[in-house]
């Protein structure tokens, strides 16, 4: 038996000696510096990134679909595969959302149900307002000449809902059902109106008779009739320019001197004769063109 043991050990001793002789640079693992825990773990995972390695371990995740909550313990990392393995269906119009970049412990996967419907709605179209000046009304007064009408517009909308909540509304098209009508407002500009005034128009015979029946001299009557014809054509309602009435008084000066209506022919005759009697200079300055024409006619 001794011979047999010797026969086995002797070749082993010779082989060991040869190995030691040939490999003088063999290093034995005596310290933990040769392989770190990180190296060992890294060799077990693919890909080698810390965050993604977290996803490969067992984890408890949650799936929310409508009003249902699923708690799932899994080692899977693909969202679609997790849903399929747990028989959670995703409908055609649904989409899947996850609150983390990839599946980790505590991730919440939400299946959102989407619906789209087309609806119609009617909207008011506000009318515009136009303001025009009018000498038919006193200054500051407003009168509606044409009443505004609100228009109607029909819109077709595409509304998108997520889990029953409206998240987006798009206009597909619109058409005018009723055109708006603008409102026209007259803004008064006159200090005097033709209220309570008998409208006689161009009526020289009437106003000549009023002058002839008044307490005036022959010369005053001639001048009054000549100038009223020259200024307004014997029209007490004359209102075409900046001057008004039978003798075309300036509303500014009339308002500062008299209380009567500027379109009152009787008042114009009464106040004009007083100006006439104030002297030649007054007549020439207040009715320059017609008074000068009168003087030429008289001199001839």
Sheet holding 129-138, edge to edge: 129-138, 183-190, 142-146
* CATH fold for domain 204-299: Lysozyme (1.10.530)
Domains in the chain: boundaries: 41-112, 116-190, 204-299
Which pLDDT does position 51 carry in this prediction? 54
CA distances from 220 to 258, 285, 295 (A): 21, 17, 13
Q: What pLDDT was estimated at residue 53?
A: 57
Answer CATH for 41-112 from 3.90.1580.10, 1.10.540.10, 3.10.20.740, 3.10.20.30: 3.10.20.30
CATH of domain 116-190: 2.20.230.10
CA 240/CA 248 separation, integer angstroms: 10
**Cα dist from 281 to 225, 272, 284, whole Å:** 19, 14, 5
Q: Is the pTM of this model over 0.85?
A: no
What is the distance between the alpha carbons of residues 274 and 247, in angstroms, rounded to a whole number?
13
Asked if 160 contacts 172 with a C-beta cutoff of 8 angstroms, the reply is no
What's the length of the chain? 300
Residue-level pLDDT, tens digit, the chain, 300 residues = 444 444 444 444 444 444 344 433 333 333 333 433 334 333 333 444 555 556 678 999 999 998 899 999 999 999 999 999 999 999 888 999 999 998 999 999 999 999 999 999 999 999 999 999 987 788 888 999 999 999 999 999 999 999 889 999 999 999 999 999 999 999 988 878 887 889 999 999 999 999 999 999 999 999 999 999 999 999 999 987 789 999 999 988 998 899 999 999 999 999 999 999 999 999 999 999 999 999 998 887
> What is the residue whose two structure tokens read 């320059």?
288
């Amino acid at each position: 038996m001794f011979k047999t043991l010797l026969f086995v050990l002797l070749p082993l001793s010779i082989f060991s000696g040869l190995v030691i002789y040939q490999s003088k640079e063999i290093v034995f693992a005596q310290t933990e510096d040769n392989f770190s825990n990180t190296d060992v773990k890294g060799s077990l995972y693919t890909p080698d990134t810390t965050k993604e390695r977290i996803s490969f371990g067992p984890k408890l995740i949650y799936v929310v679909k409508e009003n249902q909550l699923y708690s799932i313990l899994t080692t899977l990392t693909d969202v679609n595969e997790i849903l399929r393995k747990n028989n959670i269906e995703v409908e055609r119009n649904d989409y899947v959302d996850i609150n983390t970049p990839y599946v980790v412990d505590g991730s919440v996967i939400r299946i959102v149900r989407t619906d789209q419907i087309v609806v119609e709605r009617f909207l008011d179209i506000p009318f515009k307002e136009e303001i025009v000046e009018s000498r038919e009304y006193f200054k500051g007064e407003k009168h509606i000449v044409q009443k505004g009408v609100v228009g109607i517009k029909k819109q077709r909308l595409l509304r998108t809902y997520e889990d029953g909540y409206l998240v987006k509304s798009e206009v597909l098209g619109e058409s005018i059902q009723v055109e708006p009508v603008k409102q026209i407002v007259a803004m008064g500009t006159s200090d005097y109106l033709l209220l309570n005034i008998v409208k006689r128009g161009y009526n020289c015979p009437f106003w000549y008779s009023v002058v002839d029946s008044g307490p005036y001299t022959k010369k005053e009557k001639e001048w009054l009739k000549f100038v009223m014809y020259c200024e307004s054509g014997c029209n007490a309602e004359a209102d075409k320019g900046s001057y008004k009435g039978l003798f075309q008084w300036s509303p500014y000066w009339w308002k500062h001197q008299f209380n009567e209506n500027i379109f009152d022919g009787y008042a114009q005759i009464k106040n004009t004769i007083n100006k006439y009697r104030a002297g030649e200079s007054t007549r020439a300055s207040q009715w320059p063109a017609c008074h000068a024409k009168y003087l030429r006619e008289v001199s001839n």
